[in-house]
């Protein structure tokens, strides 16, 4: 017996849920930033916005989805904030409520909700906020990344991360931090923190993008983060590192579809068909990178983008120059000597100057990179190229055991099996 057809009420409920999910995915960060810029209270704004979404799921099925869902949610959240302030007897309740009412009266004239995310990003990067929590704070509040994913990305327990975020939000509320783009004297160090947070959020979406079950949500996050990068560029046209970051993300996003074949198997960059890359995203990335280079102030993100640009040259029929790649990685390590950059330099040197050279660079990282999966994958490839089959097989097994991606694990184990045969 077939399942009964959904009733009209069930259909409206599903439509309301889908509309709320679209609004959350597309506008959560913008709505929260708008509220925080006016209240200085991240926690209260988060609670009010959560309540607005809850009310939407209760009322939209009966009354229909409003013509402007984001504006409806903003109005509901503002009213909740005003109610909470009056109920708690907050000293600034009168002034705050008047400000919220004034905003609400202007709503009919607003073509769209103002985007205050950049202001909130810089507030999160203020020196009064502990350095180790700035990026998690931005990821959760400005970009709407789930708290559990933030904790997992930084290899700490959800409880510990929650405590750090609560303390940081209290500092935003009580520290008198200006919600504005800083002046020139304060810009450089806080811009680095902002750009790092945006790139970390992109990396989170990039990791999700290899999971077919998360495809739409991951692509949505990547689009949102790239939009935020473009926003930073638009507001800070003289900052080449912002352009470098956008170029880097666009080059990576251009290859998203090529990372898996039709069967879902992992395809490494060297084996990808350039015809599967997005020509329009590559073109935009190259334009941003060229504009950044014209400023004559190189930096980490520009060099990372230049590395990706070198690989993207395959789409135009240009082979990757191993010596140039090694030189770019050398520059990257100079600006940002992270484990990832140093592993990349070792791989590039192995390709340019022989696997023994690359292995020597990896040997210097052995202790620091012991649990770092790309280190073991790189080591396995270089050992195999050097003819050290047994050691390479062990390294492939180690790399496979350190990844949560089933497709990558299968790829590494297949390479190990080929060594044995």
Count CB neighbours of 68 within 10 A. Answer: 15
Tokens 């696997």 sit on residue: 355
Would you say 377 and 358 are in contact if contact means Cβ atoms under 8 Å apart?
Answer: no
Residue-level pLDDT at 335: 95
CA distances from 12 to 6, 55, 65, 66, 323 (A): 10, 15, 9, 12, 60
Distance CA 86, CA 103 (A): 18
Q: Which residues are CB-contacts of 202 (< 8 A; sequence separation ≥ 6)?
A: 222, 225, 226, 229, 249, 252
Q: CA triplet 293, 294, 296: central angle to 5 degrees? A: 75
Distance CA 4, CA 171 (A): 54
CA distances from 102 to 120, 137, 405 (A): 21, 29, 50
Helix (H) and strand (E) counts in the chain: 19, 0
Tokens 């002034």 sit on residue: 95
Q: What is the largest CA-CA distance in the chain?
A: 77
Tokens coding 203 = 């990396």
Comparing CA positions, the residue from 401, 355, 352, 406 lying closest to residue 376 is 401
Q: Helices (DSSP H) in 142-183: which residue ranges? A: 147-153, 158-174
Query: pLDDT (tens digit, 0 to 9) for every residue of the chain, 421 residues total?
Result: 455 555 656 666 787 778 777 777 677 888 998 998 888 889 999 999 999 988 888 888 888 888 888 889 999 998 888 877 666 655 554 455 445 545 554 554 455 677 888 888 889 988 889 888 988 898 888 877 777 878 876 768 889 999 999 999 999 988 888 888 888 777 888 898 889 888 988 887 665 444 443 443 445 568 878 988 998 998 888 899 999 999 999 999 999 999 999 999 999 999 999 999 999 999 999 999 999 999 999 999 999 999 999 999 999 999 999 999 999 999 999 999 999 999 999 999 999 999 999 999 999 999 999 899 999 999 999 999 999 999 999 999 999 999 989 999 999 999 999 988 7
Residue-level pLDDT at 359: 98
Phi, psi angle pair for 33, to nearest 5°: -60, -40
């Amino acid at each position: 017996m077939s399942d009964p057809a959904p009733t009209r009420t069930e259909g409206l409920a599903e439509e309301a849920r889908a509309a709320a999910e679209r609004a959350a995915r597309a506008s959560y960060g913008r709505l929260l930033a708008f509220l925080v810029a006016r209240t200085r209270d991240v926690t209260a704004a988060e609670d009010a916005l959560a309540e607005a979404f809850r009310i939407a799921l209760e009322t939209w099925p009966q009354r229909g989805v409003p013509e402007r869902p984001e504006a409806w949610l903003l109005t509901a959240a503002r009213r909740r904030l005003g109610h909470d302030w009056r109920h708690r007897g907050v000293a600034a309740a009168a002034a705050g409520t008047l400000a919220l009412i004034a905003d609400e009266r202007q709503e009919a004239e607003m073509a769209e909700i103002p985007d205050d995310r950049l202001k909130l990003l810089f507030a999160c990067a203020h020196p009064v906020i502990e350095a180790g929590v700035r990026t998690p704070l931005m990821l959760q509040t400005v970009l709407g990344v789930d708290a559990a994913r933030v904790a997992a990305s930084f290899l700490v327990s959800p409880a510990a991360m929650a405590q750090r975020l609560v303390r940081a939000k209290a500092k935003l509320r009580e520290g008198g931090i200006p919600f504005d783009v800083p002046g020139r004297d304060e810009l450089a160090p806080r811009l680095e923190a902002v750009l790092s947070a945006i790139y970390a959020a992109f990396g989170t979406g990039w990791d999700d993008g290899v999971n077919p079950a998360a495809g739409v949500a991951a692509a949505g996050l990547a689009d949102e983060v790239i939009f935020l990068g473009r926003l930073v560029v638009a507001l800070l046209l003289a900052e080449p590192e912002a352009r470098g970051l956008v170029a880097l993300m666009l080059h990576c996003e251009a290859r998203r579809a090529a990372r898996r074949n039709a069967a879902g198997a992992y395809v490494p960059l060297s084996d990808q068909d350039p015809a599967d890359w997005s020509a329009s995203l590559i073109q935009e990335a190259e334009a941003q990178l060229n504009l950044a280079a014209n400023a004559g102030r190189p930096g980490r993100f520009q060099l990372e983008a230049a590395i990706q640009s070198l690989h993207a040259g395959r789409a135009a029929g240009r082979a990757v120059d191993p010596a140039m790649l090694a030189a770019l990685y050398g520059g990257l390590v100079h600006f940002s000597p992270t484990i990832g950059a140093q592993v990349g330099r070792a791989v590039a040197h192995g390709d340019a100057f022989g696997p023994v050279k690359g292995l020597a660079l990896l040997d210097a990282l052995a202790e620091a990179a012991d649990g770092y999966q790309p280190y073991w994958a790189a080591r396995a490839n270089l050992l195999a190229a050097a003819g050290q089959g047994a050691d390479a097989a062990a390294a492939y097994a180690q790399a496979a055991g350190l990844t949560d991606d089933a497709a990558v694990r299968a790829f590494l184990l297949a390479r190990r099996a080929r060594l044995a045969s």
